[in-house]
Structure 1
C-alpha cells in the first residue's frame, strides 16, 4: 500500500493523524521499524534498535512467561492482550500505559538515530498497544528533545549508540568496587559511593562488548534511559566510551525477538524516524518519561 506523499516520516504521521488512519507504517533503513497507528495515534513502535513494551514486561519479570502465553491464547488479537492483562490482575492499567507509552517514545528515538529511508503503509497488524496512544506531533518533539540532550562534543547520539562502553581501567567487567553502595563507608561522599540499584545493574552488564542497545535489551529498559545512565556512569569515572565505532565483524549480541511473543510482528523493512523541529508543547511526553529515570 502506498503512503501519502510527505517530506519525512513525522510529516507522514501527522497526515495520517488527520486522516484517522488505522494500520502500520513500515520504514526502511537502519535500524528501521514498524509504526502501529490506531485512529491516527501511535500505539506501538517495533524496531530492532530498542526493546518493545512486550520485551520490557517479560525481561524484567513484570509479567511472567506463562501468564503472557495464557493471555495470548485467550486473546488471539494482540491489540486486546493488554486489556486482558489488566482484567486478570497481572498489571495495573496505569502501569501498562506507562510501559507501553515509554516504549513508543523509545522506539521513535532509536529509529531517529539512523539515516532516513523510504516508507509504506499497510493494514493493521495486531500488537501490544499503548492504550491511549501518542500524538505524532508530541512524538516528534520528544525525539528532538532527547537527541539534543544526548548530543556531545565529538559524537552524535547515533554514534554513541554504536559504541561499546567499557569498565574504567581500575574496574574489571561487572566487578563491584569501592564505589558500590553497601561497600562504601558511612558518610562517604565520593562520586558513585551511593549508586542506586538501577546504576549498579547497568554497570554490572558493561563489559566492552555490548552496545547501549544490547544493554537495553539485556535489562528490559529503554535505549534512551540506558544511554543517559551510561553518560552518568562515565561522568563518575566508572566506565568509558570506546573511541572506535562498531565494526561489521562485531555483531550486536542482544536478541531481537523474544521467544513466544506474538506481539512481535514480522521483520520490519527497516528505516529511521527523521527529525524535525515542530512547535512547542507535548502533554503525552510526560507519560513516556515517567518510567525514563525510575525504571530498571
Structure 2
C-alpha cells in the first residue's frame, strides 16, 4: 500500500497553505513536523478527504483518492485537531453511534467498542459522560473512534496538544502498537512525540516540504552544530539574540546553554549530540 502526493497545492484565496508537495508514504509512522501555520493541518485534512487540493493529486496505489470515494474512506481513520464529541453521551454510547455511522453491524460494533475501550484504557469509564472527561480522556475517545473500522490509514492531527506527560506517553505507546501494516500520519509540533515512534519525519515550513528522512538520518545532518556553552548572566541576552538557544540550565559555575550553530560559538564550547528538539530549532526560530 502506497499513499502518494503528486505536486499537491492548496490555496485559500491568495494564501498558499500547501505548496507543490511531493511525498510517498508506505506502512509505518510518519511524523509531520512543523511550526503552527506551516500547513500541517491542511495536509491532514486533504489526506482525510475533508478538503480537496487546489491542484495536484493524492493517490492510493496509483488511484485518485477522491475518485475512490467511499472505498478510500473505508480504509481511513481520522482524528482531527479538535475532536467533536457529544458531551451528554457516555463513552460507550458515543462509540456505538460512530460505529453505526461507519457501517458496522450491531454485534460487530459492540465487540469493537469493547475492544477499543480496553485498548485506550477507558473500560472503567464506559458509562460516564464524555463531557466530564479530562482532555487526555477525550483524546483517548477520539483515537478509539478513529480505530473502530480497523483503518489501514490512520491520520491524527496534533493528538497530544494539551495532554500531560503521562497521557502523551500512553498515546505514543498506543501508536507504536498499532503501526504494523498501517500507514500512520501524525502531525505535531511536539518533537518528543516523534522521537521514539516515527519511521520517517517530514519537516514542513511555510507550506513546503523542506526535509524528509528517518530520525537518525536527519539528526546526522546536525553533527557538529550543537554546542554546550557556559556563560554568565550578563552574557545570556547576547547569546539569545545572536544564536538559536535551546535548554538553559543554571549550574554552580554559571549558566549552561545549548546552542544550535553552524560555527563554534566560543572557544570553550563543547560539541553535543543532537536531538529532535535541536532539529526543530535548527529549522524554526
Establish whether TM, by shorter chain, passes 0.5: no
- Provide the TM-score with structure 2 as the length reference: 0.27
State the TM-score, normalizing by the size of structure 1: 0.26
Relative contact order, CA 8 A, sep 6+: which one is greater? Answer: 1
Q: Which structure shows the higher strand fraction? A: 2
